[in-house]
Amino acid sequence: MESISIRVLLADDEAAIRNGLQNAIPWEQYHAKVVAVASNGQEALDLIRSYLPDLVIIDIKMPQLDGLEVIRRTKAAGITCRFLILSGYDDFYLAQKAIRYGANGYFLKPLKIEEFKDELSRQYAEILSHHHSSAAARNLDELMESSKIFFLNQLLLNEIRDESEIERRRTMLSLTLFDTPYRVIVCSAVISNDRLLPALKQAKSLFISAFSNQSIEAWILREKQLVLLISDAQNKELCAIREPIASILCHLKQQTGIRFYTAISTLADQTEQAAAAYTDALRALSYHIYERENDVYDDTMVCRQKPSFSPSSIAYDPMISCIERNDPDEIKRCCAQFVHSLFFTQLPPPDFIRGMCIHVLTNIRVRFLAKHTELSPEEPIRPDDVLLCHTITELIEWLTAGFLSLSESYKRQKKSSDPIIETAKEYIKNHISSNLKAKDVAATVNLSESYFTIYFKTKTGQNFRDYVLNARTDLAKKLLLEQRLSISEIAYATGYQDYRSFSRAFKNVTGISPSDYQNR
């Protein structure tokens, strides 16, 4: 028991504190090992549930959940671990509250390292004493189980690659399943509420029962997925594995009302192949986006055909036009038509579909804002949001929402547009190739030159000279990419009298020369 390392979790929203604790403390001298690091309270709570650490060193003030709430929820869940509180707030009330919640120590920032090291020694003694208690056998079983899950998680997530270390830990944990060929099975659902975890636990029991005649390891990964390793020495036909799984999923839906989907990996015959098999299962699992009647997926359904669709074939102008017209039904039809145009085969890779949707929405925004420079940019697209789309219908709705947001912004800002400024911009656009002067534009809108320049700057946020320079540069970019005109011709088309003046102005705005922009 003397050799047992205590498992430590660090939680602090400041990266400098997390990194400092990891690097400044010689953890091995205190029979300790940092098994996980969290940057907010919710992440800390999830990792505590996954890794069951012996000691948690946690900041009081963190995003999502504070340290005190993490302690409270951990204790309420019946998880036994010790807590050391860190705080930058010299507040005795917080210290009292932390102790009342079950904290075993309280330290103020900046941390005194030597004092903290002494506390680590004391905590190790307390934890070791606990292991030697009358419940030592049970605790050791729990320790072995959590160590096994920790090892399996590392294995699947490709966090441990040294083959000798993998074999040493596999032997220590008595994982005989890897002595025969095996498959990775992943089971999940699209929901993410409080109903999921109990349903996953129920699914775990059903899987273990259904495959009781085979070696099996089953655990819940980060409260989101049920992961199973199942021996398959006979290399069974996939249908022989699919059938009991389909039956389990049907039973779960009847009992919980939750629709689960499951994927089966290809066969693996070495311990270190677990990460590749897990990735293989996740790839197959992503095909649930097509809502097939049977919710069991495997490698035979994965499309490996190279997409015939090219981003260069996207017709942006019709999309921009329907956004300008602000017709929700037309926008939805346009988005649906685009998504369905991506189906170069019956079930194209879901990552390809999602990636192209992100691509088209990003490019539409860039092109639309370049065309309508009067619009204020909205919040940037968050690509991760597309991962929340679990069906093709939801993906079309996500794309439609992005187009509608741009359309509504255009409609709103167009309503409040200034007729004088709009007339001035239209004049600039139509005379971009000439020697534009503020007095000529001012005369068009019946204002004096001095008043017009002040008015223009107030309404647009740009002075007249900069606006014209940017308008010329935007037009030049478009012409350069079309590559139908020479650079000298583009210089004249954008209002410059010679190539050198154009090149100098273009580089001042973009940072690169016109020829480099055209050839990149």
Same domain for 444 and 344: no
Question: At residue 135, does pLDDT exceed 50?
Answer: no
Contact 361, 320 (CB under 8 A): no
Residue 105 lies in a domain: yes
Percent of the chain with pLDDT over 90: 36
Contacts 24+ apart (CB under 8 A), 344-350: 344/305, 344/307, 344/308, 344/309, 345/303, 345/305, 347/287, 347/290, 347/301, 347/303, 348/303, 348/305, 348/307, 349/286, 349/302, 349/303, 349/307, 350/286, 350/287, 350/289, 350/290
Long-range CB contact pairs, 475-484, < 8 A, 24+: 475/432, 476/502, 476/506, 476/514, 477/510, 477/517, 480/514, 480/517, 480/518, 481/518, 483/518
Q: Tell me, yes or no, whether 57 lies in a domain.
A: yes
Tell me how far apart the alpha carbons of residues 427 and 22 are, in angstroms, rounded to a whole number. 63
Identify the domain boundary among 97, 132, 167.
132
Judged against a pLDDT cut of 70, whether residue 1 lies above it is answered with no
Check: CB of residue 488 under 8 Å from CB of residue 478: no
- Residues 206 and 93 placed together within one structural domain of the fold: no
- Is the model's pLDDT at 384 over the cut of 80? no
Domain count of the fold of the chain:
4
With H, G, I as helix, E, B as strand and everything else as coil, classify residue 229: strand
Quote the CA–CA distance of 50 and 44 in Å, as a whole number: 10
Predicted confidence at residue 141, as pLDDT, reads 63
Residue 377 clears pLDDT 70, i.e. is over it: no
297 and 181, same structural domain?
Answer: yes
- Note whether residue 375 is domain-resident: no
**What type of residue sits at position 518?**
Q
User: Among 301, 326, 355, which residue terminates a domain?
Assistant: 301
* Cα(81)–Cα(98) distance, integer angstroms: 14
For the cut 70, the answer to whether the pLDDT of residue 16 exceeds it is: yes
Structural domain includes residue 373: no
Average confidence score pLDDT of the chain? 85
Whether 100 and 152 share a structural domain: no
Smallest CA-to-CA distance from 495 within 468, 477, 520, 517 is with 468
- Residue 137 within a domain: no
174: phi > 0 → left, psi -120 to 50 → alpha, else beta; which? left
% of the chain with per-residue pLDDT over 70: 92
Q: How far apart are CA 76 and CA 363, in angstroms?
A: 49
pLDDT tens digits for range 86-95: 887 666 667 6
Q: Are residues 160 and 286 in the same domain?
A: yes
Higher pLDDT, 193 or 206: 206
Going by the DSSP 8-state scheme, the letter that residue 4 receives in this structure is P
- The answer to whether residues 346 and 441 belong to one domain is no
Looking at the domain assignment, is residue 179 inside a domain? yes
User: Where is pLDDT greater, at 423 or 141?
Assistant: 423
**pLDDT at residue 410, rounded to an integer:** 78
What is the span of the domain harbouring residue 57? 6-132
Q: 161 versus 333: which is more confidently predicted?
A: 333
> Cβ distance 12 to 63 under 8 Å?
no
Q: CA–CA separation, 305 vs 308, rounded Å? A: 9
Residue tagged 């919640």 (tokens): 101
Domain contains 266:
yes
Residues 148 and 297 in one domain: yes
Other beta carbons within 10 angstroms of residue 294's beta carbon come to 11
On whether the CB atoms of residues 231 and 212 are closer than 8 A, the answer is no
3-state secondary structure of 275: helix
Backbone dihedral region for residue 139 (phi beyond 0: left; psi -120 to 50: alpha; all else: beta): alpha
Say if residues 353 and 395 touch (Cβ distance below 8 Å). yes
Are both 108 and 13 inside the same structural domain?
yes
Q: Give yes or no for residue 319 having a pLDDT over 80.
A: yes
Q: What is the pLDDT of residues 248-268, one digit of tens each?
A: 999 999 988 899 999 999 999
Q: Residues 272, 248: one domain?
A: yes
Q: Is residue 203 part of a domain?
A: yes
Q: Does residue 165 share a domain with residue 84?
A: no
Listed residues 301, 319, 334: the one ending a domain: 301
Arithmetic mean of pLDDT, 4-24: 86
Among 499, 503, 430, 500, CA closest to 468: 430
Q: Does one domain contain both 255 and 286?
A: yes
Per-residue model confidence as pLDDT tens digits over 199-213: 999 999 999 999 888
Q: How much is the pLDDT for 416? A: 54
Asked if residue 174 and residue 279 are part of one domain, the reply reads yes
The CATH number of residue 496's host domain is: 1.10.10.60
Whether the pTM exceeds 0.75: the reply is: no
Q: What CATH number is associated with residue 165?
A: 3.30.70.270
CATH code assigned at 127: 3.40.50.2300
